[in-house]
Each structure stands twice: as C-alpha cells, then as structure tokens.
Amino acid sequence: MYNLENDHVEGHAYILNFRFTNNMAEYEAILLGLILVKRLGAIRVSVIGDSKLIIKQIKGTYSTGDPRLGYYRGTVIEILKTFLET
C-alpha cells in the first residue's frame, strides 16, 4: 500500500488456509487490501492489478461464470461503494 500524503509504503502478509484458485487468490488479495485501507481511514482508493480478468470483472466488462467468483466480485463492489469516487 502506498500513501500519497507521506510517501508511506506498507506491506502485509496473509495465509489463505483453504483450497482456492488463482482467481480466488486475486480476489482475496483485493478484499484484504480494501479492508485494511478502510480500517486505516482511507476515503479514496484505486485498485491496480495485474490480473486483467479480475479487473474487468470488477468493472463489469466481463461476467463471472463461477458463483464463488460472483460472490467475491459482489463483495469487492460493496466495499468499493464505501469509498469516495475519484
């Protein structure tokens, strides 16, 4: 995470203790990051990722055929709605 106000960079490590696909891991990473920045008091956030599929699913460009990914997408969208738009 990178804070534009004071050039603060912070890293965190998490263990996913269940069976998951690469796409589920990508969603877990986004969710963990969003929850963390929310707890830190962020009011705006930009999601930047290297998984074109996940980013396009979040934007609504691609659909999610797997119900588990649909749940992840919905959860990410709900958290993103709590931030101000940029």
Per-residue pLDDT at 9 exceeds 70: no
Can you give the pLDDT at residue 5?
Answer: 64
Q: Would the pLDDT of 8 be above 70? A: no
Does residue 1 carry a pLDDT above 80?
no
Q: What pLDDT is recorded for position 40? A: 85
Q: Which of 60, 1, 59, 50 is nearest to 25 (CA)?
A: 50
- Model confidence band, residue 51 (pLDDT cutoffs 50, 70, 90): confident
User: Would you kindly state where each structural domain of the chain is located, as residue ranges?
Assistant: 2-80
CA distances (Å), origin 54, targets 7, 9, 66, 77: 27, 24, 12, 12
pLDDT digits (tens, 9 = 90+) for 60-82: 999 888 898 999 999 999 999 99
